[in-house]
Homo-oligomer: A and B are copies of this chain.
Amino acid sequence: MTQVMSIDVPENYNPSEFDRPSVTVDVAIFSLVEDDLRILLTKRAERPFAQYWALPGTFVGINESLDDAANRALADKTGVKDVYTEQLYTFGAPDRDPRTRVITISYFALVPFTAVKPQINKGDSDVSWFSVFDLPELAFDHAQIVEYALTRLRYKLEYTAVGFQLLPDVFTLTELQKAYEIILSERLDKRNFRRKILSYGILEETGNKKKDGEGRPAKLYRYRDDAVAEVKTRRLFP
């Protein structure tokens, strides 16, 4: 059924020795939706993958950097660019994809929900947000990747202010605290939280106040332009 054509390969071609693995990137795209930490999953149209949700991913182009591939996968599903992404870990167990050998470099991305326009592209039958606390069964080893991504996200919150990447451009400290509480699944003390976040020195007041809803209007903050670079340089570990 599959039609074929011929190409030239070196005389000493030996599939078992020189076959190359496929290389993909898979991106755990986090966002805050309705007071819940959610992740964007896709379902492929073709069998035999129609039954499992999977992380958005793509093959790495032959002249494309890994970061570019990750950002392309991200933009393809969400329409957003210029958000926080970071390489996580590379998964390469020989049998992780039953079809063929695939090595995948995992990334995580933090996107403000207000910026997202989920898109169903060619090859996908569906794209949807799922709570990380109530995930469906995932394809391949993607459950492991999500767990790793979530652990890393929580860890980063402890010693950086990366949380604001999930919020709109301007936000109140209460909104930021709520984001942290959702991700860490624990209550935080308001005074201690504010002291800690402000001590990082990466937020600045806009001078404006939020005046919807009830109660006293809250000061609006934005993060300094150089905050992203600063957070990224503190990656290390793992």
Contact = CB atoms under 8 A, between A and B. Distances in A.
A103 B238 contact: no
B237 A21 contact: no
5 contacts: A6-B8, A16-B62, A92-B105, A151-B236, A155-B237
A189 interface: no
A123 to B, nearest CB: 14
Interface residues of A, number: 46
B11 A9 contact: no
Interface string A1-28: 0111111111101011111111100000
Interface stretch (A63-71, A131-139, A166-174): A63-71
User: How many copies are assembled?
Assistant: 2
A107 to B, nearest CB: 10
Contact of A6 (B2, B9, B17, B64): B9
A49 interface: no
Contacts of A88: 238
A237 B149 CA distance: 10
Given A20-B23, A90-B66, A105-B90, A236 B155 contact: yes
Contacts of A190: none
Nearest to A6: B6
Contacts of A62: 15-17, 19-21, 94, 101
A11 B19 contact: no
A169 B18 CA distance: 39
Nearest to A8: B4
Interface of A: 2-11, 13, 15-23, 59-66, 87-90, 92-94, 101, 103, 105, 151-152, 155-156, 235-238
Nearest to A11: B3
B23 A237 contact: no
Contacts of A2: 10-11
A228 to B, nearest CB: 16
A180 to B, nearest CB: 18
Contacts of A155: 236-237
B101 A63 contact: yes
A66 B103 contact: yes
B20 A11 contact: no
